[in-house]
Chain A
């Protein structure tokens, strides 16, 4: 494969079967390896689409400053594209994210503004909205409400999956901005009768839910629950256990949120076996495990890893 530039190589990621984790020949699980993107995560797709759209709309002109609330991957992707296109990049990131994410952001030239750990990404969104109001010339792409985020998946990830696996019955992905699930979900629903679209939502330690008031919660503007078939909450223990299983049994070294998606995928696979139905279940490997080595997710016992992850944003 030859490409004119790094950005041209984005997408067209491998879809690989999991022969050992799939329960039977009729019920198969497939991993879409989104870590094989330029900066190593699925977020390269929406980052590229959001910047392209902002350029087309005339919002972004050379020398502009891009602002984004992000727990890491989106910021890293935006920083890479911004560097190549000549924009300044400012990320608002919760302080309880891994040190690798910070280092990567800085390598690609992004400036980081930390938001308080308590409240997680909600706080990052709040701080970014305030900065955006204070700096009207900065461009906040706002992944949670930017249609180009979901469109990236509708126009690229979804078609790739259907082309590689026309017999797909389930699509499973982590729920964050909801862009992946909305985009791929809509694309598949229009073409695959009865396709199941399943969200795996990370359930963090208590610190992350430390809102002042339950009415201060946050639902991404992109979220449309009619696209989903169902939604599971996956705790850090199950996510870690599945991340390790994926490595042990299939050789795939993935980040912790991928374990969460795999947990939901295996749940759907077991359901299909019980019901005696065939299934081809695709789940998203959102990123590789490299950025999480310092969290201790891969060493020691599950109990130790779970304790170390308490209070961390692992997706």
Chain B
């Protein structure tokens, strides 16, 4: 078991074209660090020194992690993480 992370089209150049990758960690921040080992540069596209980048939305089991605990949000095997760029609606 691992945590599945869905990758948006614009970041798949960092995952060899894979739509989803797997990783592990106790928190979202640890998960991103783990992913960065196999997909170098990915973490830097998601996170800056202030936390999640402005136009990056991350959902844990469909809930926006900014309303959970951000990078400190706890994650566990079997969870689904979705990364999406912020887009307009309306």
Contacts and interface: CB of A to CB of B under 8 A. Distances in A.
Nearest to B55: A217
A229 B67 contact: yes
A215 B88 contact: no
Chain B, interface size: which category? Answer: 20 to 34
A176 B88 CA distance: 6
Contacts of B85: 209, 211, 214, 216-217
Interface string A202-235: 1100101111111111111000010011111111
Given A209-B8, A231-B63, A218 B87 contact: yes
Given A214-B85, A219-B86, A232 B62 contact: yes
A209 B64 contact: no
A143 interface: yes
Contacts of A202: 89
A143 to B, nearest CB: 6
A201 B87 CA distance: 10
A75 B44 CA distance: 39
B90 A177 contact: yes
Contacts of A199: 64
B45 A210 contact: no
Interface in A29-61: none
A120 interface: yes
A233 B11 CA distance: 19
B54 interface: yes
B76 interface: no
B11 A214 contact: yes
A122 B62 CA distance: 22
Interface residues of A, number: 45
B84 A216 contact: no
Interface centre among A143, A212, A230 (most CB of B within 10 A): A230
B26 to A, nearest CB: 22
Contact of A121 (B55, B82, B84, B87): B87
A125 interface: yes
A125 B89 contact: no
A167 B5 CA distance: 39
A228 B45 CA distance: 26
A230 to B, nearest CB: 4
A71 B9 contact: no
B89 A213 contact: no
A233 B66 CA distance: 12
List the 9 shortest-distance A-B pairs measured between CB atoms, nearest first.
A217-B55, A176-B89, A176-B90, A121-B88, A217-B86, A177-B90, A231-B64, A230-B67, A218-B88
Interface of B: 8-11, 45, 53-57, 59, 62-64, 66-67, 82, 84-90
Given A124-B88, A217-B85, A218-B87, 10 more contacts: A121-B88, A144-B90, A203-B84, A206-B9, A209-B9, A211-B10, A212-B10, A214-B55, A218-B88, A225-B67
11 contacts: A121-B90, A176-B90, A211-B85, A211-B87, A214-B55, A214-B56, A216-B55, A218-B86, A218-B87, A232-B63, A233-B59
